[in-house]
């Protein structure tokens, strides 16, 4: 394509597939085999063969999807992500993506890799934001991130099951929107997820998720009275699981020594869609200590090595059976990422991604950590 802004780019692309299942598989750019055939993700190509394997193992066939790339040419040395021309190339390719969406009318776009996810939603960091249905730049069309097959080819084949999960989820989500259940994904479950819980407002431009839907049960700005009420409600049910999570100054690592003023806030959740944010100062610090002293079972995410030593340094006593979600996950899936948002994508994708809100909405971010930990366990 002569007007491509990438110096030395070659080739052109035609879409492949019927899109009968309502899912668009969106990649990054052409490789050698794709340039030769003029079609995306060739089954005989390195990345295309991985995608083909994943599609077939999921019980689907390639023609059921529609396949396309954000940039429908081949960059020199297949170098797009991180290249000086990346943003310009994406801006050039997006109108052509718009045409594909208009032509095939997908209900879900499965974004393979960072370039596709960023182009469709404005989000990045694919391994922590994948697996969640989020609004895309195309009104009424959901996007889900997934690891790019080329990432798997470069020594991460442990993520083949993750790619398969995301393909099946995209197809199930599309079927749910259309009103038909598919396989193990039940329409009666996903309908309320879609229409009640996945609520984002996209501002200031399409694809930027900057203002989350906050459940009524999230107490973002607690008074002493509301904190006491939360404590008494939980204390009345000694068998109720309590999830907790602390926030520390930016840059803290688990191997650093505990210091004074090492905690800035603590968050609790004892029921899904509920939680409380407590700044680490009196009287909230005392209420947090009393919550931790309750005999209720507790769960955190990396709490054994990070949260608990810091809380104990402040004189907190953590009673009840103690669970660490990240250690449990490490035993269950030792080859995969242990980030909480990654883990939560398999158990509560209706929450949507939230780690990008750590600075703009710290209270929501903190409670969401506790809520997600509780749900996952």
Distances (CA, A) of 182 to 146, 179, 198, 215, 306: 20, 10, 20, 28, 41
pLDDT band at 180 (very low <50, low <70, confident <90, very high): low
pLDDT of residue 209: 57
More confident residue, 361 or 202: 361
242 and 356 part of one domain: yes
Do 173 and 227 sit in the same domain of this protein? no
Radius of gyration of the chain (CA): 23
Q: Say whether both 222 and 206 belong to one domain.
A: no
251 shares its domain with 133: no
Q: Count Cβ atoms below 10 Å from residue 360 Cβ, excluding itself.
A: 11
- Pair (227, 256) in one structural domain: yes
Domain end among 181, 210, 239: 210
Question: What's the average model confidence in pLDDT over 220-239?
Answer: 98
11 lies in a domain?
Answer: no
Handedness of CA 81, 83, 85, 87 (dihedral sign): positive
Task: Tell me the β-bridge partners of 246.
Answer: 266
Name the residue range of residue 155's domain. 23-210
Rounded CA separation 222/128 (Å): 29
The CA distance from 308 to 314, in Å, is 10
Q: Write phi, then psi, for 212 (nearest 5 degrees).
A: -75, 160
Q: Do 198 and 223 belong together in one domain?
A: no
- pLDDT higher than 50, residue 285: yes
Same domain, 255 and 195: no
- 258 pLDDT band, cuts 50/70/90, is low
Residue, of 196 and 204, whose pLDDT is higher: 196
Cβ atoms of residues 50 and 149 within 8 Å: yes
Helix axes 325-332, 362-376, angle to 10 degrees: 50
Answer with the one of 210, 227, 253 that is the final residue of a domain. Answer: 210
| Residue finishing a domain among 182, 210, 238 | 210
Q: Helices 340-347 and 362-376 meet at what angle, rounded to 10?
A: 50
Same domain? 194 vs 260: no
Tell which residue, 119, 367, 90, has the closest CA to residue 244.
367
pLDDT band, residue 188 (cuts 50/70/90) = very low
Considering the domain boundaries, does residue 291 fall inside one? Answer: yes
With left for phi above 0 and alpha for psi between -120 and 50, is residue 282 left, alpha or beta?
A: beta
Per the structure, the count of domains in the chain is 2
How many C-beta atoms lie closer than 10 Å to residue 221's C-beta?
A: 9
pTM for the model stands at: 0.88
Closest CA to 218 of 182, 279, 271: 271
Question: Both 36 and 89 in a single domain?
Answer: yes
Q: How confident is the model at residue 134 (pLDDT cuts 50, 70, 90)?
A: confident
Compute CA distances 89 → 35, 75, 80, 146, whole Å: 17, 10, 8, 21
Q: Is the pLDDT of residue 205 over 90?
A: no
Q: Is the pLDDT of residue 178 over 80?
A: no
Three-point CA angle 253, 356, 204, nearest 5°: 155
Q: Are residues 177 and 265 in the same domain?
A: no
Token output for 240 = 């109720």
pLDDT at 202: 30
Tell me the pLDDT tens digit for each residue of 42-79.
999 999 999 999 999 999 999 999 999 999 999 999 99
In angstroms, the CA 54 to CA 139 distance is 28
The answer to whether residues 222 and 128 belong to one domain is no
**Please, which pLDDT band fits residue 261 given cuts at 50, 70 and 90?**
low
pLDDT at 15: 97
Structure confidence by residue, pLDDT tens digits, 79-126:
999 999 999 999 999 999 999 999 999 999 999 999 999 999 988 889
Q: How confident is the model at residue 185 (pLDDT cuts 50, 70, 90)?
A: very low
Quick one: pLDDT band at residue 140, thresholds 50, 70, 90?
confident
Phi, psi at residue 181, to the nearest 5°?
-70, 155
340-365, pLDDT tens digit by residue? 999 999 998 888 899 989 999 999 99
Nearest to 362 by CA among 246, 269, 257, 282: 246
């Amino acid at each position: 394509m002569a007007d491509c802004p990438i110096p030395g780019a070659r080739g052109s692309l035609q879409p492949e597939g019927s899109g009968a299942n309502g899912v668009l598989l969106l990649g990054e750019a052409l490789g050698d085999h794709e340039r030769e055939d003029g079609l995306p993700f060739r089954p005989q190509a390195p990345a295309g063969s991985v995608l083909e394997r994943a599609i077939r193992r999921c019980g689907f066939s390639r023609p059921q999807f529609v396949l396309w790339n954000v940039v429908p040419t081949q960059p020199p040395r297949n170098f797009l992500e991180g290249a000086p021309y990346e943003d310009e190339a994406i801006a050039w390719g997006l109108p052509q993506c718009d045409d594909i969406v208009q032509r095939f009318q997908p209900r879900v776009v499965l974004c393979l890799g960072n370039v596709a996810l960023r182009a469709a939603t404005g989000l990045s960091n694919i391994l922590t934001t994948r697996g969640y249905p989020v609004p895309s730049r195309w009104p009424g069309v959901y996007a889900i991130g997934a690891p790019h097959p080329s990432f798997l080819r470069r020594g991460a084949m442990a993520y083949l099951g993750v790619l398969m999960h995301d393909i099946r989820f995209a197809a199930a989500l599309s079927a749910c929107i259309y009103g038909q259940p598919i396989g193990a994904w039940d329409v009666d479950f996903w309908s309320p997820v879609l229409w009640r819980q996945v609520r984002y407002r996209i501002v200031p431009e399409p694809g930027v998720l900057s203002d989350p839907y906050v459940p009524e049960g999230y107490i973002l700005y607690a008074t002493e009275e509301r904190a006491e009420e939360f404590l008494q409600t939980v204390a009345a049910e000694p068998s109720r699981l309590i999830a907790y999570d602390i926030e520390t100054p930016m840059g803290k690592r688990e191997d650093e020594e505990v210091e004074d003023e090492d905690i800035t806030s603590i968050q609790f959740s004892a029921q899904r869609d509920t939680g409380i944010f407590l700044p680490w100062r009196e009287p909230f610090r005392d209420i947090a200590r009393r919550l931790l002293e309750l005999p209720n079972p507790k769960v955190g995410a990396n709490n054994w090595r990070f949260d608990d030593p810091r809380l104990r340094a402040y004189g907190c006593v953590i009673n009840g059976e103690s669970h660490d979600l990240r250690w449990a996950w490490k035993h269950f899936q030792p080859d995969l990422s242990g980030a909480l948002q990654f883990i939560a994508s398999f158990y509560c994708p209706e929450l949507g991604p939230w780690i990008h809100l750590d600075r703009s909405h710290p209270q929501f971010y903190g409670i969401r950590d506790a809520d997600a930990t509780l749900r996952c366990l």
